[in-house]
Amino acid sequence: MKRVFSGIKPTGHLTLGNYLGALRQWAEVDQHRADALFCVVDLHALTVEHDPARVRRLSRQAATLLLAAGLDPRLCTVFVQSHVDEHARLSYLLECVATDGEMRRMIQYKEKAARERERGGSVRLSLLTYPVLMAADILAYATDEVPVGDDQAQHVELARDLAVRFNQRYGHTFVVPKATLPPVAARVMNLQEPASKMGKSDDFGPGIVYLLDEPDVVRKKVMRAVTDSGQEVVYDRAGRPGVANLLEILAACTGGEPEALSAGYASYGELKKDTADAVVEALRPLRARHQELCADPGYVERVLREGAEKARAMARPVVDGAYRAIGLLPPLEEPAAEPMAAAGAPTGPGAVASLNAAR
């Protein structure tokens, strides 16, 4: 069975982009076809200015929404990244394989660093290195496939490169993963700024549909979506990005094809109305389940505790293998007879004392 891993950052309230580009695919497809792990990647939320209490709150909310979207802990593993130390352990090893140039080429780094500088803030080193942590998230689980939206494809590519490079230098250690994108809505755009991705932490709030928005708020946001001065409803991503975005959202919510759907509309108003209705309907079960789960926080906590235990057991051997391969001594509490003996080092109960004496 294939191993699938993906994650979501608690940097803001989850959006329609997160749902159509990732969560829905995880719940409807991935957890049924693979040995799947889904993670709230809270360490990634620390790469930009953050409020600790908010990150904690958003992490709980993201985990609850993963379950509300249909992830079933009997079918997959749901957990929080910082509960499993192996991510950070492996990240450092991969930093010793990645290059500075590679990191600086990452589009998200360039965009976010520029934004941060424009605001007069400083750029955290972790913003530069977070794709390495993301590679560690993926590689620690011997992941075959990473279902993501289009914006994360470059980071998965980096994880591939690092896996191949590590394997070539230090012997086969990692499975080389690949990204899988949803067939439609791989990049939902901001309704007010259709040239920008609908990101949960971006600056165009009125163009972002949040999963927990009330239905009338969702309707308002969709009805006010920026289109263009034309009249005809045609699917043209480059020429009419606002209309194309609505058609893609409608297609993703109703199971149609954007181009075919465009033929059924004579005006932008009708398209917006149907899109708004389709989004409200698509989110209805999720919102209902979210309410139920909020009434039972003990359940969510139990799922996360058990998820972290399962995840740790999966990641441990892979990360320990990487530590050995790259040249680090095995942990001293392990019966280390073989590798230590092979290197001519002392073994047995006196080994620790001899190692200390040798320093």
Residues that bind ligand AQP (CB under 6 A): 6, 8-9, 11-12, 17-18, 21-22, 108, 148-149, 151-152, 186-188, 197-202
Nearer to ligand AQP, 21 or 242 (CB): 21
The answer to whether 37 and 140 are in contact (CB under 8 A) is no
Nearer to ligand AQP, 116 or 320 (CB): 116
Distance of alpha carbon 359 from alpha carbon 354, whole angstroms: 9
Nearer to ligand AQP, 278 or 322 (CB): 278
Residue 149 C-beta: closest distance to ligand AQP, Å = 2
Residue 92 C-beta: closest distance to ligand AQP, Å = 22
Residues in the chain, total: 359
**5, β-bridge pairs:** 37
In terms of DSSP H, where are the helices of 189-296? 215-223, 241-254, 258-262, 268-294
DSSP secondary structure code for residue 149 in this structure: -
Nearer to ligand AQP, 108 or 192 (CB): 108
- Tally Cβ neighbours within 10 Å of residue 29: 15
Strand, helix or coil for residue 345: coil
Residue 339 C-beta: closest distance to ligand AQP, Å = 38
Give me the active site residues, please: 112, 197, 200
Q: Which residue is nearest to ligand AQP (CB)?
A: 21
Residue 105 C-beta: closest distance to ligand AQP, Å = 16
Residue 113 C-beta: closest distance to ligand AQP, Å = 12
Nearer to ligand AQP, 18 or 262 (CB): 18
Q: How far apart are the first and last CA of the chain?
A: 47
DSSP secondary structure code for residue 12 in this structure: S
DSSP secondary structure code for residue 82 in this structure: G
Which tokens in the block code for residue 162? Answer: 């690092």
